[in-house]
Homo-oligomer: A and B are copies of this chain.
Amino acid sequence: MSLYCENVDVHTARQRIATARVGHLATVTPANRAHLVPCCFVLDGQVVYSAIDAKPKSSRNLRRLQNLMFNSAASLLVDHYDEDWTKLWWVRVDGNGRTVDDNLELGHALDLLSAKYPQYEQTPPPGPVLAIEIETWRMWP
């Protein structure tokens, strides 16, 4: 793997990202502030796909996509909290995000999301899908 993985057990990192039910997605606004939302997502090789949620679309729902048009930087964090702090961990992937425009890729992403989340079978995500091309993996501890 040619990607940058500083001190990362890639197998563990991949497993933790792949099985997490929720992640935290950060993009950067045109005013250079972080924009942070929880999201459902699926890992596919070196790409993370995440669908915009099924609530009525508003400018806020699309904020993350607008941000990516100005600045493609995107990060997804998955973590585990436990009151026993020896059991804490997190994994973060950083890369470049984009809206999925290609219909074949969009169908593929939606299939993967529906396979991971049975919830999408009843209510398929109606909005755009975001892709993050992962460049770096980080994990702690």
A-to-B contact residues, CB < 8 Å: 21-22, 24, 26-28, 31-38, 55, 71, 73-75, 77, 79, 81, 83, 85, 88, 90, 92, 94, 119, 141
Q: Which residues of B contact A81 (CB under 8 A)?
A: 21-22, 38
Q: Which residues of B contact A141 (CB under 8 A)?
A: 55
Q: Which residues of B contact A28 (CB under 8 A)?
A: 28, 32-34
> Across the interface, do B35 and A75 meet the contact criterion of CB distance under 8 Å?
yes
Q: How many copies does the complex hold?
A: 2
A interface secondary structure, majority: strand
> Once bound together, how far apart are the Cα atoms of A37 and B85, in whole Å?
15
> Across the interface, do A38 and B90 meet the contact criterion of CB distance under 8 Å?
yes
> Across the interface, do A38 and B79 meet the contact criterion of CB distance under 8 Å?
yes
| A87 → B minimal CB distance (Å) | 12
> Across the interface, do B85 and A22 meet the contact criterion of CB distance under 8 Å?
no
| A51 → B minimal CB distance (Å) | 12
Q: Which residues of B contact A34 (CB under 8 A)?
A: 26-28, 34-36, 73-75
> Once bound together, how far apart are the Cα atoms of A34 and B74, in whole Å?
7
> Across the interface, do B119 and A32 meet the contact criterion of CB distance under 8 Å?
no
| A35 → B minimal CB distance (Å) | 7
> Once bound together, how far apart are the Cα atoms of A10 and B42, in whole Å?
33
